[in-house]
Structure 1
Amino acid sequence: MSRNLLTCRIYGRLPDRLQCNVATPRGQGGRVRSALIVGACAFLLVTGCTDTPAAAPPVPTVTDTAPVLAPGKPGEEARTLAPSEAATAVPPQRANAADVRFMQNMIVHHRQALDMSLLAGSRAESDAVKRLAARINDVQGPEIAMMTDWLRAQGQQVPDHHAAHQGMPGMATPEQMEALKAAKGAAFDRLFVQLMTAHHQGALTMSAEVLTKGSHQRVQEIAEDISVSQSAEIRRMSAIH
């Protein structure tokens, strides 16, 4: 009984081209053998593709020499830092006691400013005072909500509406608040500007303190925003006669 020899050659990468040669005796059965050979070559072609998978493309790696873009404080541009600088340049995100105290006290501080501003709608005479009061209401209301959310996220207590405010700089006394409620027209305008100027100056003092003693970046940003906006409002009030 004669034996047939099947040989296959691979050209290039599978499955580009596969050539199979067979040595068969002449005579009957040649066509059958050719069909079987074609089937065998096709089988080798398919199985050969799965035996040797293509190499995966190299995965890029991140080196520790890449520069880091550090965001600046409000009003400042971002800076590009070396990795060694970035490790110490980013403020820590763990809040300290100064951060919590500032946020709690500023909520109480803002609430009194809103109480004073709400009186202006019906008691002020000057349009400038009315516009200023409306702006204070529009800005400080959302700031109270933002500071409340921050305290809750930190697991800290949010002061209630009857929280004591003794010792907070710039706060109007109960007697001063009663006098403001009783005033009307030009007298209201003068007292409002006087009390709100002192109130804003107190907020600047509180902001400056947390910028020195605080550690949480979000608190620092809020303190900076309060300092900038209320400094501008103090200048506006100084121009109201």
Structure 2
Amino acid sequence: MALSACSADEPPDQAAKQEARPGETATTPGEVVTLQPGLPGEPATTGPAEVAEEEPENHSDIAFMQMMIPHHAQAVSMAELAEKHARTPAVRRLADRVKAAQGPEILFMAAWLEERGLDVPVAADHPDSFDHSAHGHDGMEGMLTPAQMQTLAHARGKQFDGLFLRRMIQHHAGAIAMAGRAAEEGTDRTVLEVAADVSVTQNTEIARMQDLLGAL
């Protein structure tokens, strides 16, 4: 709303009110208002802008962030095995991408938990320590058992490539399922963004791994 310059004898607020045109409501400097259209034949009205308040984190948010750290950590361990034992260059490149993406995400999720004074999983913790299925909730999905990880570690060449791809597809599918639950049940904006990123990225990588499997 355009206002004429205030005279030296008038307070700024009074000048603003005098310059307001019919049908308009003058506001104080810096006040944010919204325009509400009226019904047919009625004038529009203005009012204070509504600021959406961010929902606090809930159990689903916390469970997702705590479980996804050991989940990502296992994927990084699998990728490190591929750096040593994969025969196909494309498999090694995919493993590099997994490691490059999920390593920083682990640090980000740990920082989110620390900011809220929540327990942060570390490498020495057993994954079951943060699996919320023990408390009657959905738990980690897609995780390889110790025996499966050992079998992968002992594989070499083409055998390793095929096994790595199949196990990583399993692992990614579990992460996508967990992200889907967080998207449905979570309330924290940051967690929802992480879950969406996990879903998009890992769905894309599953499609790539399926192509690589077909080419072996």
Q: Is residue 2:105 matched to residue 1:143? A: yes
Query: What residue is the counterpart of 2:18 in the other structure?
Result: none
* Cα distance between partner residues in 2 of 1:140 and 1:56: 59
Cα shift at 1:159: 1.0
Q: Is residue 2:63 matched to residue 1:98? A: no
Query: What residue is the counterpart of 1:189 in the other structure?
Result: 161
Q: Say which structure, 1 or 2, has more relative contact order (CA 8 Å, 6+ apart).
A: 2
* Cα distance between partner residues in 2 of 1:200 and 1:186: 21
* Cα distance between partner residues in 1 of 2:31 and 2:192: 31
Scaled by the length of structure 1, the TM-score of the pair is 0.66
> What is the aligned-residue identity percentage?
40
* Cα distance between partner residues in 2 of 1:61 and 1:221: 31
Relative to structure 1, the CA distance from residue 176 to residue 61 in structure 2 (aligned partners, 3 Å threshold; closer, same or farther) is closer
Cα shift at 1:64: 3.3
Cα shift at 1:156: 0.5
What is the root-mean-square deviation in Å for CA atoms of aligned residues?
2.1
Q: Is residue 2:116 matched to residue 1:154? A: yes
SS of equivalent to 1:65: strand
Query: What residue is the counterpart of 1:231 in the other structure?
Result: 203
- Pick the structure with more strand per residue: 1
Query: What residue is the counterpart of 1:178 in the other structure?
Result: 150
Runs of 4+ in 1 over 3 A off after TM superposition: 53-59
Larger CA Rg, structure 1 vs 2: 1
Cα shift at 1:60: 2.1
Aligned AA (2:160):
F
* Cα distance between partner residues in 2 of 1:126 and 1:56: 77
Note if contact 2:32-2:49 (Cα within 8 Å) is conserved in structure 1. Answer: no
Scaled by the length of structure 2, the TM-score of the pair is 0.73
Q: Pick the aligned partner of 1:64 from 12, 20, 33.
A: 33
1:24-77 per-position Cα deviation (integer Å, ceiling 9, x unaligned): xxxxxxxxxxxxxxxxxxxxxxxxxxxxx865645525243269xxxxxxxxxx
Q: Pick the aligned partner of 1:217 from 169, 189, 203.
A: 189
Q: Is residue 2:94 matched to residue 1:132? A: yes
* Cα distance between partner residues in 2 of 1:66 and 1:143: 41
Instruction: Describe how 1:81-120 pairs up with structure 2 within 5 A.
Output: 83=49, 87=52, 91-92=54-55, 94-120=56-82
Aligned residues: 171
